[in-house]
Amino acid sequence: MNVYTQFESPIGQITVNANDEGLLGVWYESHKMELSEFGTRADDHPILKLTVTQLKEYFRGDRRDFSIPLAAKGTEFQNKVWKALTTIPYGKTWCYKDLAIAVGNPKASQAVGGANGKNPISIIVPCHRVIGKNGSLTGYAGGVDIKEKLLALESNK
C-alpha cells in the first residue's frame, strides 16, 4: 500500500510517498500531482517519518547523506542513472557527461539527462547536482529556482 505525508520546508511544501519497501518519491508543490496518486495519508509510517526527519536535518545543514531505503520504480537504465546520482558528493556538481561516464556510457549524455529528469526522489537522489557542461543550471523538475536554492544550501551560501 502506498502512503504519503507532507511538511513545510524552506523551499515550500514537500510531499513524500512510500510503501513498506521504501521511499517512492519526494515531490515539490510545482510537481502538480494529485494527492490521490500517492495513496493514503499516513504521517506515522516509519519510512515517511525517517524521510521527513532526514530532510529537515538536510535543510538545517546537519545532514549530507541519507540512509533511507529507496523503492523508486523505473527502467533498468533509469535505476542505473539514479544509483549513479547518489554518488555525487554533497556540495559538488557534475555535468551530464560526467553522469554518462559514471553509468559506463560516455556518449549517452542525452539519455542520462532524460533519466535524470524522471528521478522521482528529489534531493535524496540528488539530480539537482547535475548541471550543464558550461555550468548553467539546466532544467529541473521542481524548477530552476529550487535547484539554485538546493545548490546554494550545499555550498553554504
What are the residue numbers of the active site?
Answer: 127
What distance in Å separates the CA atoms of residue 141 and residue 137, rounded to the nearest whole number? 12
